[in-house]
Amino acid sequence: MHRFIANKLLVPSTCVRGLDFPGVFVPSTSFHEYRKSGYVDKTQKKTSTRESIRDGLKELKQEIKNWTAEVKDGVMMDPIMAMPLPGEVDAQWFFNQNTNFDDWVVTSDSDHNEGHSSCSFGVSQVGKGLFSGNLSTQLVKDGKVKNAGYCNIKSIRPLKSFKRDSFHDWSAYTHLVLRVRGDGRSYMINLGSAGYFDINWNDQFHFALYTRGGPHWQVSKIPFSKFFMTSKGRVQDHQQAVPLNRITSFGITAADKINGPFRLEIDYVGLERDPTHTEISAYEQYKTPYFYAGY
Amino acid sequence: MAVKFGLSLNRILQRALPQVHNCKLLPCLQSRHIHINSLHFKNKEPNELIVSPSMFYVPEGDRNKDTFLEAVKIYTTRPGPRRAQVEFIYAALKEMEEFGVHRDLEAYKDIIDILPKGKYIPTNMFQAEFMHYPKQQQCIIDVLEQMENNGVCPDKETDQMVLNIFGRHGAPTKKLRRMAYWMPKFKNQSPWALPQKIPNSNLEIAKLAVQRMGSVDPATEMNIFQTSELQDAIDDTWIVNGQSANQRDLLAKLKEKQTVYVEGAFTIWLRRTSINYFILRSEPVPLTEEEQKQRNEYDYDDVSELRSWMFGEENLTRKDIVVQPSVHEQEDGTILAIAITGTCSKDSLLSWIRFLEKTNPNLANLSILFATNSPLGEVAPAIESNMPSQPLNKITGGSDL
């Protein structure tokens, strides 16, 4: 199993996905220095080392508390034997007045002067989550940007104590369920599954969220098996099932190349188990000839 | 050998001259010595004007598919050796939207067909691995990328064409086959199917929109009213109304003097076209205090309260049975009808209510409020009557959408 990096380079990727081939050589051209490919938040103030140590120590107390609770949970809690009940939706995120929208990262191409789209994520008049804005495919005239027009929301990475990276474990479920009210446009659902190594930082799984439009709410139930894998926005030749125990983020993108306002109200994002759904991946898993495709 | 090469180069440059604008090669011609060192020919600044854009210079009114294909034909049938093919293809790509052919597979096929067949096919594994003819390959990748961005799926003929140009190991061939695999998978994936080409007429768009919004209730009926049938209507226009039997029942049950709201205009998108619609809504029926208490306090996980008929316990009391609310009864209001009018004017909405009164006699007993805002979303205000019947329905994009 290999994957295409930077169009040309072949990199064995089993080593980086499965973590079980430690000694495999990874060429240095696949090296990604920054998590966000150099996009930095310029509004963030620089803090001195002394300041960050002081701030860190302030948080120590709470982190130790979190850690204690984690250890206690690990020792005392029974393993969850029961599977989620079929037909019941377990809500992962509810959106209402009490939602902390700081847990969501809202971005659009105008953030880094790469386009003219703008968007916001907040509470709607009826007290649900509202992702809305204006999409524009107009290019900025800097001679570099070729395509423009995206607005995006994304959940922040779950953390364990001491700010360690953690994952959403959705392995007991088969379907993603969303209750939304859209405007007839199509949106994209993104499931981030960032791995440990830099080559897997940009692994994502996507599927389209079609909206009916109109005043009625809709419930979209999407099997995880239908999600397809991409890296840096390019669909990969070798498809695999969503690693449901290692989900790092959930997001929705508006980028249908249609200029104009968009509006998507979201009530909840939930999960459901359907035991009759046995499909693992909806896409062909056959092998292409050697040195033909990207693996 | 060098002299021979120099001469032929000179001739090439002279022949190229009529099309060369702002070209860095010009000084070389005047000098007595012709360099063949590549350093002398390197453009220090990006210069894309090797092909004159005049080839696509067509008066604005005449820019269409025919003139575009004609421009490509002029280029391909010009006498003499063909040169600057990649530059020509890039120039053509830029002009496609102007000519309205950016969603036309035939036009794309025409410009891919410019490249010679067989010449760029690698003959050994080293060529295959190291991007044989990289400029040409990248150019066709960019053509395919533009096709992908515009939702144009390549067909078998395109595949054959690219295969004949670059061979099975060419990067464009691989990209094309990836497109041919993925694009059709999502072409008809939406559960709310729409025609590939959204019609031009506002009335047809309105019908599609009402049909789509009404699909939430399979019993939704769509009617088209003409305001000219009413005596005191000012605007002469059409109204597309969507209402189901269920909604009529809900409307009939409303108490006298209760307020119903005519709200809008909201926007719905059908592919690249958007249209404004209005709704008739009543306030949601609030839960009684008892119901609210029961909902809040009832512990669904408590199994000790389970009643079993086997032990002589009544399973359900009459009170526990509730009719499941219909899809129209939402927490933010009950949707009673949806309409799109030809003018989006207040008068046309009034006519809509008059038409509805014929099938919903209870509407006469209710107070109807034409609201200027709505909890359901942003609202574009309805226009005052007496205005000329200019359609407010905003159509974005071209007619081929």
**ipTM of this predicted complex?**
0.83
pLDDT confidence of B45, banded at 50, 70, 90?
low
Q: Do A210 and B330 touch (CB under 8 A)?
A: no
pLDDT confidence of A2, banded at 50, 70, 90?
very low
Which one of 2.60.40.10, 1.10.150.20, 2.60.120.430, 3.30.2130.30 gives the CATH number of domain A88-273? 2.60.120.430
Does residue B266 carry a pLDDT above 60? yes
Rounded Cα distance between B350 and A248, Å, is 52
Report pTM: 0.81
DSSP state of A135: E
- Give me B138's structure tokens: 């990248």
Domain boundaries, chain A: 49-81, 88-273
Mean pLDDT of all residues in B219-232: 91
Does residue B320 carry a pLDDT above 70? no
For residue B143, report the phi and psi dihedrals to the nearest 5 degrees. Answer: -60, -45
Rounded Cα distance between B338 and B242, Å, is 5
Lowest mean pLDDT segment, chosen from A77-86, A194-203, A254-263: A77-86
* Three-class secondary structure of residue A96 per DSSP: coil
Lowest mean pLDDT segment, chosen from A254-258, B9-13, B136-140, B349-353: B9-13
Residue in B with minimal Cα distance to A126? B375
Nearest Cα to Cα of residue B257 among B355, B121, B368: B368
Mean pLDDT of all residues in B170-183: 94
Does residue A217 carry a pLDDT above 90? yes
Lowest mean pLDDT segment, chosen from A153-167, B249-263, B375-389: B375-389
CB B247 within 8 Å of CB B335: yes
Rounded Cα distance between B348 and B364, Å, is 18
State the DSSP string of B106-149: HHHHHHHTTSPSSTT---SHHHHHTTSSHHHHHHHHHHHHHHHH
Block residue for tokens 């890039």? B90
Q: Do B338 and A126 touch (CB under 8 A)?
A: no
User: Of how many residues is chain A composed?
Assistant: 295
CA distance A185 to chain B (A): 6
**Around Cβ B290, how many Cβ atoms within 10 Å?**
9
Question: Amino acid identity of A169?
Answer: D
For residue B335, report the phi and psi dihedrals to the nearest 5 degrees. Answer: -85, 120
Size of interface A-B (CB pairs under 8 A): 89
Q: In chain B, what percentage of residues exceed pLDDT 90?
A: 55
Lowest mean pLDDT segment, chosen from B105-119, B214-228, B287-301, B354-368: B287-301
Q: In chain A, what percentage of residues exceed pLDDT 90?
A: 63
Does residue A44 carry a pLDDT above 70? yes
Measured between CB atoms, which of B190, B215, B331 is closest to A186? Answer: B190
Measured between CB atoms, which of B272, B274, B327 is closest to A216? Answer: B327
CB B209 within 8 Å of CB B274: no
Rounded Cα distance between A258 and B150, Å, is 11
Domain boundaries, chain B: 53-187, 191-286+325-378
Does residue B400 carry a pLDDT above 70? no
Measured between CB atoms, which of A186, A214, A292 is closest to B268? Answer: A214
Residue in A with minimal Cα distance to B182? A235
